Amino acid sequence: MSTSKLVIGSRGSMLARAQSQWVKGLLKTRWKGLDISIKVISTKGDRILDVPLAKVGGKGLFVKEIEESLIDESCDIAVHSMKDVPDLLPDGLILGAELERDVPYDAFVSERYTSLDDLPESARVGTSSLRRQAQLLATRPDLDIVPLRGNVDTRLRKLSEGLDAVILAAAGLRRLGLGDRITSLLTPPEFVPATGQGVVVVECREEDDRVRELIAPLVHEDTRVAARTERAFLSRVGGGCQVPMGAFAVVDGDRVEAMAIIARPDGTTVLADRDEGTRSEAESIGQRMADRLLQAGGREILDELVEGD
């Protein structure tokens, strides 16, 4: 493999490039002679910045064009933030490696206030996520939630343009060297992360044995088990970015503990569930939580949101 070449498909954002460079560095360390290049691919989610994600049509917004490059073999692997990857992959593609998870939580970022509780009445908080919005309003129904799109720098700049706080993924800030901008973390059970949040994943062609062998050393087994638990929940519920939902699993030895939510966007209803079991039950744990939440009122919420579109 010393003379092998590998093309990484990546979004053009600073975060996407940083994650692709990280994967490139890990592969170069493992395979000394590997010739690796990064191909930047524009996605629909990168081009449409003036519409909330839930209105654009959520699923696959940040991965579709990159997956097409995988299928036509103009790139060999794709590097994604797992929370951007839909539950269903195109035929012939698989998630070949889940890298060790970074901090999975949402970050509260403010230049004037120390925490969510510290915000004044009717404070203006920016977020691009219905899940974050629902959990924020469930905790602080007085808040004025402001839709927020664009790259991390654009979102942080809004703090000097009138917003009291913004909510971002802590892992993304850390990977950009901006961990010092995190004011506090929003943690479970009040704030359940998105499925796969904090996980960088490598997608590849299922039949490409050469590439699968190259990326196999990147797999972090505990992260893979946690991610499969969370994505099993996502797959069972469906709904993509239009549905405020989240799932989070922790792996400790042979045990998996997980929690999940389905909520109304206005935060008036937040349905929560927990489950646990062994590593071999990972997908079943996610599915059981989904089934119970759907039965407890989640299906009604999904139907309302679909009708609302």
More confident residue, 4 or 279: 279
CATH 3.40.190.10 in the chain: give the residue spans: 1-101+199-219, 106-186
CATH 3.30.160.40 in the chain: give the residue spans: 220-309
Distances (CA, A) of 37 to 33, 80, 173, 214, 217: 13, 16, 24, 15, 19
What phi and psi values does residue 63 have, to the nearest 5 degrees?
-135, -20
List pLDDT tens digits, range 68-78: 999 999 999 99
Q: Using the predicted structure, report yes or no on whether residue 309 has a pLDDT greater than 80.
A: no
Q: Using the predicted structure, report yes or no on whether residue 181 has a pLDDT greater than 60.
A: yes
What is the Cα–Cα distance from 119 to 23, expressed in whole angstroms? 38
Please name the helix (run of DSSP H) or strand (run of DSSP E) that holds residue 14, with its range, or none. helix 14-30
Query: Which residue in 66, 28, 91 sits closest to 202, CA to CA?
Result: 66
State whether CATH 3.40.190.10 applies to domain 106-186.
yes
Q: Using the predicted structure, report yes or no on whether residue 54 has a pLDDT greater than 60.
A: no
Catalytic residue among 84, 106, 208, 273: 84
**Amino acid 291: pLDDT:** 98
Q: Into which CATH architecture does domain 1-101+199-219 fall?
A: 3-Layer(aba) Sandwich (3.40)
Q: CA angle, corner 102, sides to 171 and 205, nearest 5?
A: 100
More confident residue, 148 or 216: 216
Across residues 86-97, what is the average pLDDT?
94
CATH of 220-309, one of 2.40.50.140, 2.60.120.620, 3.30.160.40, 1.10.10.60: 3.30.160.40
Please name the helix (run of DSSP H) or strand (run of DSSP E) that holds residue 140, with its range, or none. none
- Residue pair 305/239 in contact (Cβ under 8 Å)? The answer is yes
Cβ neighbourhood burial of 292 (10 Å; 0-12, 13-18, 19+): middle
State both tokens at 145.
Answer: 């939630």
What is the Cα–Cα distance from 289 to 60, expressed in whole angstroms? 24
- As a whole number, the mean pLDDT across the chain is 92
Secondary structure class of 29 (helix, strand, coil): helix
Question: Active-site residue 50, yes or no?
Answer: no
Q: Using the predicted structure, report yes or no on whether residue 85 has a pLDDT greater than 70.
A: yes
